[in-house]
Chain A
Amino acid sequence: MSAALPIPVIQLLQVLTVALGAPAITGVIAKVEARLQGRRGPRVLQPYYDLYKLCRKEALAPEQASWFFLAAPVIAVAAYLTIPLLIPVLTTYGLPLGYMGDILGGGFLLSLASFVVATAALETGSPYAQLGSSRAKTFSAITEPVVLFVVFTVALLTGTDLPYALAATVRSSAGQVIRPAHLLASAALFMVILHETGRIPVETHTGTNEFGMIEEARSFEHSGPYFALLKWGSELKQLILFTILADVFVVPWGLASSQRLGAVALAIVALLAKATAVGCVVAVIDNSFAKLRLFKITEYVSAAFLLAVLGVFTLYRGGG
């Protein structure tokens, strides 16, 4: 049929799909959200225009800030672009660089990116940026146990902690899907993703209202291309988390099982379709629940923690 692609090209395509697709997913979510609120909303391609516009603007840095302030966005985007090498984005089989790191490796890269951005925000001396980074670190510390328990579930289900192995396990039989451990872990991960991408329970995704600002506040002092990198970074993070949810936990179908061009192209379309579907669900959830007060966040996280812990429990009795 169609020509077989060399492995390195497929590996590169994983990164390019995430890198180029991420702003589109953000655009779709913004559009769906606007339609749900009865507005016409921005064009789906608007995030690309925003990035292009920011790239042509002047970059300024606060006087006291060191070189790190400008390096942070670059490091963060580099970390985000490494993660698609580690997770199943397009293929069911592991690519050579895919075994560089397991789920924890991906988690470390996500935390590294968030850490450098928070540190850069601290450097500025601006109260809002500092508030954002302090909140982001506090709340990521309380969501960390949930992620750990999700990883434990994966480890108990598959005997490894490679994302490829879990996706293969879920695909292997319907009995693997309809088991409490898998469903509870997926639900817990979804709740963490809602929190991490700034949807629920307190943050307003695009707002400038400081009561609910966590991640968005950190980039206040960046400008020009550096701000564009930060925006792109948060779009990348969103698509990466959606990919992990869809391709590893919930619907690991539609991935290419061979190196043929047609199969890989289909996998790219399938990935974007799945991410769009997850995005629509997220937009509906975002629109149908009231935001909580900032310190109610522990109630939300305790619910996610409950799901993750029960997921691990069930594996210890009767095969969960």
Chain B
Amino acid sequence: MVQPPGIYQGAANVIAALMLLLEFGMLRQALVRDQVRLYAAQSALLSVLAVVIAADRNLPDLYALAALSAALKVVAVPLVLRRLLRTDDSDEPAGVAGSYTLNPASAVLASIGLAAFGFFTFGAFHLNGPAAPALALAIAGAMVFVAFGLMIVRHDVASQAVGFFSLENAISLAALVVAAGLPLILETAILFDLLVAVVVFGMLIRAHHSRAESMSTGDLTRLRG
């Protein structure tokens, strides 16, 4: 029998598992609009997890981090992404829907393999903390690999950007469960790194769209003189 780890720990694990499920949701979602929505939901779960850990381990500065992270990743980044991806005639840019290299069912099965790899390699780290977060850390590892999987199976720049941002969510999850007591200033600095990534990706997306009239990276394989 596998004994349960307790309520707070259990709740943290459930939230981590839900974040992983949303990662899979982004993987199989056809439209970038829905992917951005799932990304916002995943970031919201991350803030909830920060609140749970703050309450569990009595770390008041995590509340501040949760609020800041929610403001940035639930509101600002999705807003900017949606603005970037909007074209004159529609909300959904060309070249995103149907940019699968695998059909959704196969992509999910392949990513289960990736998730298993990430899960068991990250899970093999033996941490001796006050509340050893083995499961949530392993789930964060699985998320990292599924996010890579998402960037690999979709060949459009918009999904790849969303995959990259959710990769940052996975890293934040790992940081949160392993080193919750990290000084606030350091965590905020990491958070602001994300903003740089958003700006860089935004420029790349705009540049690609203005050259290729589509989000698909399939056009890049053609040589142009």
User: Which A residues contact B (CB, under 8 angstroms)?
Assistant: 156-159, 173-176, 178-181, 183-184, 298-299, 301-303, 305-307, 309-310, 313-320
Let me know if A314 and B5 touch, CB within 8 A.
no
Report how far A106 CA is from B13 CA in the complex, Å: 31
Cβ contact of B7, chosen from A156, A178, A181, A299, cutoff 8 A:
A178
Let me know if A158 and B14 touch, CB within 8 A.
no
Chain A residues whose CB sits within 8 angstroms of the CB of B3 once the complex forms: 319
Shortest Cβ-Cβ A-B pairs, 9 listed: A318-B134, A318-B135, A175-B4, A180-B17, A298-B105, A178-B10, A317-B123, A302-B105, A159-B1
Cβ contact of A318, chosen from B20, B24, B138, B142, cutoff 8 A:
B138
Any chain A CB within 8 A of the CB of B95? Answer: no
Cβ contact of B13, chosen from A176, A180, A298, A303, cutoff 8 A:
A180
Let me know if A305 and B112 touch, CB within 8 A.
yes
Let me know if A309 and B108 touch, CB within 8 A.
no
7 contacts between A and B (CB under 8 A): A179-B10, A180-B14, A299-B108, A303-B108, A313-B138, A314-B135, A319-B3
Residue in A156, A181, A317 with the greatest tally of chain B CB atoms within 10 Å: A317
Report how far A175 CA is from B4 CA in the complex, Å: 6
Shortest Cβ distance from A284 into chain B, in angstroms? 21
Cβ contact of A176, chosen from B4, B104, B138, cutoff 8 A:
B4
Chain B residues whose CB sits within 8 angstroms of the CB of A181 once the complex forms: 2
Any chain A CB within 8 A of the CB of B11? Answer: yes
Report how far A318 CA is from B24 CA in the complex, Å: 22
Chain A residue, CB-CB nearest to B133: A318
Report how far A8 CA is from B14 CA in the complex, Å: 41
Cβ contact of A307, chosen from B11, B21, B136, cutoff 8 A:
B21
Let me know if B14 and A179 touch, CB within 8 A.
yes
Let me know if B116 and A179 touch, CB within 8 A.
no
Any chain A CB within 8 A of the CB of B6? Answer: yes
Let me know if A178 and B11 touch, CB within 8 A.
yes
Chain A residues whose CB sits within 8 angstroms of the CB of B179 once the complex forms: none
Let me know if B119 and A317 touch, CB within 8 A.
yes
Shortest Cβ distance from A158 into chain B, in angstroms? 6
User: Which B residues contact A (CB, under 8 angstroms)?
Assistant: 1-7, 9-11, 13-14, 16-17, 20-21, 24, 28, 103-105, 108-109, 112, 115-116, 119-120, 123, 132-136, 138-139, 142
Chain B residues whose CB sits within 8 angstroms of the CB of A305 once the complex forms: 108-109, 112
Chain B residues whose CB sits within 8 angstroms of the CB of A183 once the complex forms: 14, 17
Cβ contact of B134, chosen from A159, A307, A317, cutoff 8 A:
A317
Chain A residues whose CB sits within 8 angstroms of the CB of B116 once the complex forms: 309, 313
Let me know if A299 and B28 touch, CB within 8 A.
yes
Shortest Cβ distance from B11 into chain A, in angstroms? 5
Let me know if B105 and A316 touch, CB within 8 A.
no
Report how far A313 CA is from B103 CA in the complex, Å: 24
A175-B6, A320-B13 given as contacts; is B139 within 8 A of A314 (CB)? yes
Chain A residues whose CB sits within 8 angstroms of the CB of B5 once the complex forms: 175, 179, 318-319
Let me know if B2 and A320 touch, CB within 8 A.
yes
Cβ contact of A309, chosen from B4, B9, B112, cutoff 8 A:
B112
Let me know if B14 and A315 touch, CB within 8 A.
no
Cβ contact of A302, chosen from B108, B120, B138, cutoff 8 A:
B108
Chain B residues whose CB sits within 8 angstroms of the CB of A310 once the complex forms: 17, 20-21, 115
Report how far A158 CA is from B6 CA in the complex, Å: 16
Chain A residues whose CB sits within 8 angstroms of the CB of B132 once the complex forms: 318
Report how far A158 CA is from B2 CA in the complex, Å: 8
Report how far A309 CA is from B109 CA in the complex, Å: 10
Residue in B4, B24, B104, B138 with the greatest tally of chain A CB atoms within 10 Å: B4
Let me know if B2 and A156 touch, CB within 8 A.
yes
Chain B residue, CB-CB nearest to A158: B1
Chain B residue, CB-CB nearest to A174: B7
Chain B residue, CB-CB nearest to A178: B10
Cβ contact of B119, chosen from A299, A313, A319, cutoff 8 A:
A313
A159-B1, A179-B5 given as contacts; is B14 within 8 A of A306 (CB)? no
Shortest Cβ distance from A35 into chain B, in angstroms? 30
Let me know if A157 and B108 touch, CB within 8 A.
no
Chain A residues whose CB sits within 8 angstroms of the CB of B133 once the complex forms: 318
Chain B residues whose CB sits within 8 angstroms of the CB of A318 once the complex forms: 5, 9, 13, 123, 132-136, 138
Chain A residues whose CB sits within 8 angstroms of the CB of B104 once the complex forms: 299, 302
Chain A residue, CB-CB nearest to B132: A318
Report how far A156 CA is from B1 CA in the complex, Å: 6
Report how far A315 CA is from B9 CA in the complex, Å: 14
Report how far A180 CA is from B108 CA in the complex, Å: 19
Report how far A175 CA is from B108 CA in the complex, Å: 30
Shortest Cβ distance from A86 into chain B, in angstroms? 22
Chain B residues whose CB sits within 8 angstroms of the CB of A303 once the complex forms: 24, 28, 108
Let me know if B10 and A175 touch, CB within 8 A.
yes
Shortest Cβ distance from B102 into chain A, in angstroms? 11
Shortest Cβ distance from A293 into chain B, in angstroms? 13
Report how far A159 CA is from B1 CA in the complex, Å: 5
Chain B residue, CB-CB nearest to A165: B1
Chain A residue, CB-CB nearest to B14: A180
